[in-house]
A and B are shown apart, each in its own frame.
Chain A
Amino acid sequence: MSWLRDSEVAGEQLLITAALALVYLITPYQIGVVTYLDMRALHYASLFLICAGVRYAETGAKMQATQLAAASTVAVLNLVYLATCMLPQNAALGDYRRLAREIPADAKVLPIDTRAPLQGSHRYYDPFRHAGAYATPNHARSRHTSLPVICSLTSLTSVTVTARTRRRRSGTWSLSVGRVPMWTGNEYCASTAISW
């Protein structure tokens, strides 16, 4: 056990990171209708990886400088990467909002996102799926403005929806709750619209 006694300063944090990765591997992805159960361990694994880096940085000034340079490089690369991907999306959503402003009051519009999800095999990022929902409350000029309910539930025939509604006359916000029938499809379903 001498290697353990002489183990590095961040050995505990790295072992915890490895243990959490193991928890991810042995945990089921799904129990009943609850999914993504295994993913939860990975967030903590990342956190303890950062803790290991912090422990390393505590060992001396040289190590601190190395850590700072490495972390800054990764952070700057990440920000540049985010900017190259998200700024075009932001511009596209701005175009969408400008278009939404042109829609006459009380018009019936069903927003449909026709863009393919990014990294389609995993469907982890689909930024424009709810763009219509963003635009509707922003530009609602009538209390009769409606918002179709889009969701990804597969086995429900109805859902209770909580919507924040602005009463134009009183100028206050209130909550309206209703049970909305849905059309169930293979993966996605759209309800009849709820009053906004």
Chain B
Amino acid sequence: MFAYGWFCKAVHTPSRRAYAWFVLLLLLSYAIHLSALLFVITLAGVSCALGVLKGQMSLKRAAMLLLPAFLLLLFQIALSPGTDIHGDYGWGTWVSKLSWFAFQACRFKLAIDLPLLMAFAAAAAFPSQ
């Protein structure tokens, strides 16, 4: 999240310092856990794609911003340091994927947990204009 914060700052300002902090924190988070890199690519990728499609950011600038993350991803795929990428994969079933979607909300009684989760989502995302 800190890396993405500096990424946002680098997007909205021409600051090289912000970009340097973004790259540094990206490296640090990647060193801690691979999932951090995947999340940063997702977050930064959406922001860049939206910026380009809205005409607020050039394709070249988006590519420059995302380059460090994709270089690290290539490094990971090529060398897979410390990760057994050949291990057994398990996706589960569509039913299990969908039923676990509300995993964070499930605590005591599903009949109450799910409406509460939906109320939370509605309160956050769909306020009346």
15 interchain pairs, CB-CB under 8 A: A4-B53, A21-B101, A28-B89, A28-B91, A29-B96, A30-B90, A32-B88, A49-B125, A53-B124, A82-B107, A85-B108, A118-B109, A119-B108, A124-B107, A125-B108
Stretch from A38-46, A132-140, A164-172 at the B interface: A38-46
- CB atoms of B104 and A44 under 8 A apart: no
Q: Does A107 contact B (CB under 8 A)?
A: no
Q: Does B32 contact A (CB under 8 A)?
A: no
- Of the candidates B39, B91, B106, B123, which one forms a contact with A71 in the assembled complex, judged by CB atoms under 8 Å apart? B123
Q: How far is the CA of A7 from the CA of B85 in the complex (A)?
A: 39
Interface of A is mostly: helix
- CB atoms of B123 and A67 under 8 A apart: yes
Per-residue CB contact flags for chain B residues 63-100 toward chain A (1 = under 8 Å, else 0) read 00000000000000000000011011111100011011
- Of the candidates B119, B124, B127, B128, which one forms a contact with A50 in the assembled complex, judged by CB atoms under 8 Å apart? B124
A99 to chain B, nearest CB (A): 24
- CB atoms of B107 and A39 under 8 A apart: no
B28: chain A residues within 8 A (beta carbon): none
- Of the candidates A5, A34, A39, A70, which one forms a contact with B123 in the assembled complex, judged by CB atoms under 8 Å apart? A70
Q: Give the interface of B toward A (CB within 8 A).
A: 1, 35, 38-39, 42-43, 45-47, 50, 53-55, 84-85, 87-92, 96-97, 99-101, 103-104, 106-110, 112, 116, 119-125, 127-128
- Of the candidates A23, A31, A52, which one forms a contact with B89 in the assembled complex, judged by CB atoms under 8 Å apart? A31
Closest 4 CB pairs of A and B: A32-B87, A53-B124, A70-B123, A30-B90
Q: Does A73 contact B (CB under 8 A)?
A: yes
- CB atoms of B90 and A29 under 8 A apart: yes
Q: A40-B35, A74-B119 are in contact. Are A125 and B107 (CB under 8 A)?
A: yes
Q: How far is the CA of A78 from the CA of B96 in the complex (A)?
A: 26
List 20 additional contacts besides A44-B39, A119-B108, A124-B103; criterion CB under 8 Å: A19-B43, A20-B39, A23-B38, A23-B42, A24-B101, A29-B91, A29-B92, A29-B97, A30-B88, A34-B87, A37-B35, A41-B39, A44-B43, A49-B124, A57-B127, A78-B116, A85-B107, A122-B99, A122-B103, A122-B106
- CB atoms of A1 and B54 under 8 A apart: yes
- CB atoms of A4 and B104 under 8 A apart: no
Q: Does A56 contact B (CB under 8 A)?
A: yes
Q: How far is the CA of A7 from the CA of B56 in the complex (A)?
A: 13
Q: Does A15 contact B (CB under 8 A)?
A: yes
B128: chain A residues within 8 A (beta carbon): 66
Closest to A15 in B: B46
B95 to chain A, nearest CB (A): 11
- CB atoms of A119 and B96 under 8 A apart: no
